[in-house]
Amino acid sequence: MSTSPKQALLKEYALVAQALAAPARLVLLEQLAQTEAAVETLARKTGLTVANASQHLQQLRRAGLVTSRRAGKAVIYRLQDARAITLMALLNEVAEANLAQVADILDGLYGGAPAPEPITRADLAERLAQGAVTLLDIRPEDEFAAGHIPDARNTTLADLDRLLPTLDPKAEIVAYCRGPYCIYAHQAVALLRNRGFNARRMDGGLPQWREDGREVRGGTRA
Q: Would you say 152 and 222 are in contact if contact means Cβ atoms under 8 Å apart? A: yes
pLDDT tens string for the chain (222 positions)? Answer: 567 999 999 999 999 999 999 999 999 999 999 999 999 999 999 999 999 999 999 999 999 999 999 999 999 999 999 999 999 999 999 999 999 999 889 888 888 788 889 999 999 999 999 999 999 999 999 999 999 999 999 999 999 999 999 999 889 999 999 998 899 999 999 999 999 999 999 999 999 999 999 999 986 554
Task: State whether residue 116 is helix, strand or coil.
Answer: coil
Q: Identify the pLDDT of residue 67.
A: 98
In the chain, residues under CATH classification 3.40.250.10 are 99-211
Distance from the first to the final alpha carbon of the chain: 63
Say which CATH topology domain 99-211 has: Oxidized Rhodanese; domain 1 (3.40.250)
Give, as one character, the DSSP assignment of residue 164.
G
Q: Can you give 14-59 as a three-state secondary structure string?
A: HHHHHHCCCHHHHHHHHHHCCCCEEHHHHHHHHCCCHHHHHHHHHH
Contacting residues for 125 by C-beta, under 8 A, at least 6 apart: 214
Catalytic residue among 19, 177, 188, 199: 177
CA gap 151, 61 in Å, rounded: 35
Instruction: Confirm whether 177 is a catalytic residue.
Output: yes
Say which CATH topology domain 5-81 has: Arc Repressor Mutant, subunit A (1.10.10)
Q: Kindly report the pTM of this predicted structure.
A: 0.90
Q: Which helix (H) or strand (E) element contains residue 162?
A: helix 157-163
- 6-30 burial: b if 16+ Cβ within 10 Å, else e: eeeeeeeeeebeebbeeebbbbbbb
